[in-house]
Amino acid sequence: MRRKYSVGRSLELYERALHCIPGGTHLFGRRAELAAYGVSPIYSDRQQGGHFWDVDGSEYIDLLMGSGAVILGHAYPTVVEAVQEQAARGTGLTLNHPMEVDLAELLVEVVPCAEMVRFCKGGGEANTIAVRIARGATGRDKIIFCGYHGWHDWYLAANLADEVALNEHLMPGISPTGVPRVLQGTALSFEYNNLGSLQAVLEANQGEVAAVIMEAARSSLPEPGFLQGVRELTERHGVVLIFDEVVTGFRLALGGAQEYFGVLPDMATYAKTLSNGFALGAVVGKREVMEPARDMFISSVYWAEATGLAAGLASVRAMRDVNPSATVWALGKHFMNSMNQLAERLELPFTCAGLPPFPFIRFTHENAKLNQELTTLYIQEMARRGVFAYTVNYFCFEHSQRDLYDVLEAVGETFDVIAKALQCGDVKSFLECPVRQADFRRLV
Which of 148, 155, 192, 378 is labelled catalytic?
148
- Looking only at residues 62 through 91 of this chain, which bind ligand PLP when binding is defined by CB under 6 A? 67
Phi then psi for residue 313, to 5 deg, are -60, -50
In the list 271, 289, 311, 355, the residue contacting ligand PLP (rule: CB under 6 A) is 271
The verdict on whether 142 is a catalytic residue reads no
Q: What is the nearest approach in angstroms of ligand PLP to the Cβ of residue 373?
A: 26
x/- binding map, residues 358-377, to ligand PLP, per CB under 6 A?
--------------------
Phi then psi for residue 380, to 5 deg, are -60, -50
Nearer to ligand PLP, 168 or 208 (CB): 168
Type and span of the H or E element at 47: strand 44-48
Q: What is the nearest approach in angstroms of ligand PLP to the Cβ of residue 298?
A: 16
Which of 5, 76, 155, 244 is labelled catalytic?
244
x/- binding map, residues 156-195, to ligand PLP, per CB under 6 A?
----------------------------------------
Nearer to ligand PLP, 24 or 386 (CB): 24
In the list 73, 123, 229, 354, the residue contacting ligand PLP (rule: CB under 6 A) is 123
- Looking only at residues 289 through 348 of this chain, which bind ligand PLP when binding is defined by CB under 6 A? none
* CA–CA dist 400, 58 (Å, integer): 19
* CA–CA dist 218, 208 (Å, integer): 27
Which of 37, 192, 266, 272 is labelled catalytic?
272
The DSSP 8-state label assigned to residue 108 in this structure reads: H
Side-chain half-sphere exposure of 74, counting CA atoms within 13 A: 19
Which stretch, 39-47, 93-101, 147-155, 356-364, contacts ligand PLP (CB under 6 A)? 147-155
Residue nearest to ligand PLP (CB): 123
Phi then psi for residue 438, to 5 deg, are -150, 170
Nearer to ligand PLP, 245 or 398 (CB): 245
3-class SS at 260?
Answer: helix
Q: Determine contact, residues 147/442, Cβ cutoff 8 Å.
A: yes
Side-chain half-sphere exposure of 3, counting CA atoms within 13 A: 13
Q: Determine contact, residues 410/343, Cβ cutoff 8 Å.
A: no
The verdict on whether 148 is a catalytic residue reads yes
The verdict on whether 244 is a catalytic residue reads yes
Q: Determine contact, residues 211/135, Cβ cutoff 8 Å.
A: yes
Q: Is 124 in the site for ligand PLP (CB under 6 A)?
A: yes
* CA–CA dist 242, 147 (Å, integer): 12
CA distances from 425 to 55, 59, 346 (A): 36, 33, 15
Q: What is the nearest approach in angstroms of ligand PLP to the Cβ of residue 87?
A: 21
* CA–CA dist 70, 66 (Å, integer): 6
- Residue 363's nearest CA partner among 379, 387, 383 is 379
Q: Is 247 in the site for ligand PLP (CB under 6 A)?
A: yes
Nearer to ligand PLP, 41 or 122 (CB): 122
3-class SS at 291?
Answer: helix
Which stretch, 100-108, 141-149, 189-197, 254-262, contacts ligand PLP (CB under 6 A)? 141-149
Q: Is 285 in the site for ligand PLP (CB under 6 A)?
A: no
- Looking only at residues 215 through 244 of this chain, which bind ligand PLP when binding is defined by CB under 6 A? 215, 244
In the list 133, 179, 246, 435, the residue contacting ligand PLP (rule: CB under 6 A) is 246
3-class SS at 88?
Answer: helix
Residue count of the chain: 444
Which stretch, 15-23, 72-80, 116-124, 342-350, contacts ligand PLP (CB under 6 A)? 116-124
**CA 181 distance to own-chain centroid:** 28
Nearer to ligand PLP, 355 or 422 (CB): 355
Residues that bind ligand PLP (rule: CB under 6 A) add up to a total of 14
- Looking only at residues 5 through 64 of this chain, which bind ligand PLP when binding is defined by CB under 6 A? none
362-365, Cβ contacts within 8 angstroms, sequence gap of 24 or more: 362/391, 362/441
* CA–CA dist 70, 280 (Å, integer): 12
In the list 37, 119, 145, 148, the residue contacting ligand PLP (rule: CB under 6 A) is 148
Which stretch, 72-80, 144-152, 234-242, 432-440, contacts ligand PLP (CB under 6 A)? 144-152
3-class SS at 116?
Answer: strand
Active site residues: 148, 244, 272
Chain residues binding ligand PLP by CB under 6 A are 67, 122-124, 127, 147-150, 215, 244, 246-247, 271
